[in-house]
Amino acid sequence: MTPKMVAGFRRSLSFPNHPNSSSKPKKTFHVRSTSLPCRSHPLISQLRDDLNALMAAFSSSPENRTSAWLCDSLARLKTIHESLDDLLQLPQTRESLHGHAGLVENLLEDFLRFVDVYGIFQTMILRLKEEHQAAQVAVRRKDAAAKLASYSKAIKNLGKEMEKKLIPSLQSTAGKYLVLPKQVVAVPDGDAEVVGVMKDAVKVTVLVSTALFNGLSVSFTKSSSRRWMVGPAKKANMEEGIEEFKEMAALWGVRRKGEEEDVKMVAKKMHEMEDCIGGIESGGEKVFRSLMNAKVSLLNVFTQ
């Protein structure tokens, strides 16, 4: 019996899927083409450019990483996976991958792991938001001491959970891609080039996800032990936390009521932090959805 195709809600097949960086309307190019995907195919060229740009952003990342920088990396990663999904939906791409069944199976396993990890992460971020909102209410009521102590304990536990549940999953995938090239090298053969951009998409997913999970974990736990780094992460100093979250340590010193200036400072800092958490939550959710779509496309290739 012929295996059934996996159905799902799809986006329209268009590119580039870049984050909106200007008010000028962008021209849309449809990628349903009768030509065999090869090195001259515009979608593969765009994917390679986006992969190189994201790798370059990490190699020249700021010494003090901020949530804005992290959100930008997540947006770039989402664009890459959306373009990869578009590529995987082309019949010619699926045909070219039929000769690489083992590779497709391995990539599918990687994407299943990514989807699982980002699903867990979304649950963790929701818990963080709830704890943060409860602490904000306590600060407004000038009842911050006990609640901030509880909040401090909660996010430290969350950081430890990230280290225990999320990072090892990435580590198992990273073992297959320990050496990350500075640039994606073009491969003359059309099929090999499709395979190349798919592998590199996995590599940058590990890179960005490591920065996200490890950065938050370090910021929450304030611990420099038991960290691991992947590929160029040694140069990028993956042990660095996220600036805004590290600054939250100043709040733990607030332990009594009646200091109006301290209360105002804490309230302002927590409001800024709420925006940072919201940005990371949104960026993570968009990456999660793009991973889901790419996973479905890979599954369709594998079951055909």
Q: Which residue range is the domain that position 192 belongs to? A: 52-303
Distance separating the N- and C-terminal Cα atoms of the chain: 11
In a domain, 17, yes or no: no
With respect to residue 109, please indicate whether it lies within any of the assigned structural domains. yes
Residue with tokens 């090869």: 38
Instruction: Say if residues 300 and 6 touch (Cβ distance below 8 Å).
Output: yes
Closest CA to 11 of 302, 304, 294, 303: 294
82, 293 contact by CB (below 8 A) = yes
CA–CA gap between residue 88 and residue 301 (Å, rounded) = 8
One digit per residue, the tens of pLDDT, for the chain of length 304 reads 444 445 444 554 444 455 554 444 444 444 444 444 444 568 888 999 999 999 988 887 777 789 999 999 999 999 999 999 999 988 888 887 877 778 888 889 999 999 999 999 999 999 999 988 888 888 777 666 677 778 888 888 999 999 999 988 887 776 564 444 444 443 335 577 888 888 899 999 999 999 999 999 988 886 433 343 444 444 444 456 888 887 775 565 554 444 666 677 778 888 888 999 999 999 999 999 999 999 999 988 888 7
Other beta carbons within 10 Å of 151: 23
Quick check: is 28 in a domain? no
> Total domain count for the chain?
1
For residue 216, tell me if it sits in a domain.
Answer: yes
Domain for residue 102, yes or no?
yes
- Based on DSSP, count helices (H) and strands (E) in the chain, helices before strands: 10, 2
* Bond before 16 cis per omega within 30 degrees: yes
Residue 62 maps to a domain: yes
Q: Which two tokens stand for residue 136?
A: 């904000």
22 assigned to some structural domain: no
The answer as to whether 23 is a domain residue is no
Q: Which two tokens stand for residue 122?
A: 């979304």
What's the rounded Cα separation, in Å, for the pair 226 and 209? 17
